[in-house]
C-alpha cells in the first residue's frame, strides 16, 4: 500500500507568512485567514494589518462577518481592523 502525503501550499505558517509579507503577496496571505491553526491565522491577520492593503482589510471584514469564524479569531480580526483604522486616521490628520 502506498501512503499519499499532501504537501502544504506554502509550508508551515509563521515563516512563510513573513516571507509573503516581504514579497507583498496579499492574496497568498489572505488564504491563511482560513487555516485550521489559530496561530497561523493570527500571523496572517497581523501581516495584513501591517501591510494595510485594502484587499486584506476586506478579507478581514469578511472573516469577522462569517458566522463560522470562532470568537477568538473574530476578536483578533476586529482588533486588527481597529488598529488599522486608527493608524489611517492618524496618517490623514495631524493627530498624535
Tell me the domains of the chain and their CATH numbers: 13-90 (1.25.10)
Integer CA distances (angstroms), 69 to 6, 14, 24, 38, 82, in order? 25, 20, 25, 11, 18
Output the CA–CA distances (angstroms, integers) from residue 19 to 22, 47, 54, in the order listed. 5, 10, 20
| Distance (Å, whole) CA 68 – CA 80 | 19
Instruction: Look up residue 71 and give its three cell numbers.
Output: 470568537
For the stretch 8-61, pLDDT in tens is 454 554 569 999 999 999 999 999 999 999 999 999 999 999 998 999 999 999
pTM for the full model? 0.74
Locate all alpha helices (DSSP H) within the chain, ordered by sequence: 13-22, 26-31, 38-51, 54-65, 71-91
Model pLDDT, residue 90: 61
- Given pLDDT bands bounded at 50, 70 and 90, which one contains residue 83? confident
Amino acid at each position: 500500500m502506498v501512503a499519499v502525503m499532501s504537501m502544504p501550499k506554502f509550508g508551515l505558517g509563521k515563516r512563510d507568512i513573513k516571507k509573503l509579507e516581504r514579497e507583498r503577496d496579499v492574496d497568498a496571505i489572505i488564504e491563511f485567514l482560513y487555516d485550521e491553526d489559530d496561530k497561523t491565522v493570527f500571523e496572517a491577520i497581523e501581516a495584513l494589518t501591517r501591510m494595510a492593503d485594502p484587499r486584506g482589510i476586506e478579507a478581514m471584514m469578511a472573516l469577522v462577518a462569517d458566522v463560522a469564524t470562532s470568537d477568538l479569531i473574530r476578536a483578533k480580526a476586529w482588533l486588527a481592523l481597529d488598529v488599522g483604522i486608527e493608524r489611517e486616521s492618524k496618517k490623514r490628520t495631524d493627530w498624535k
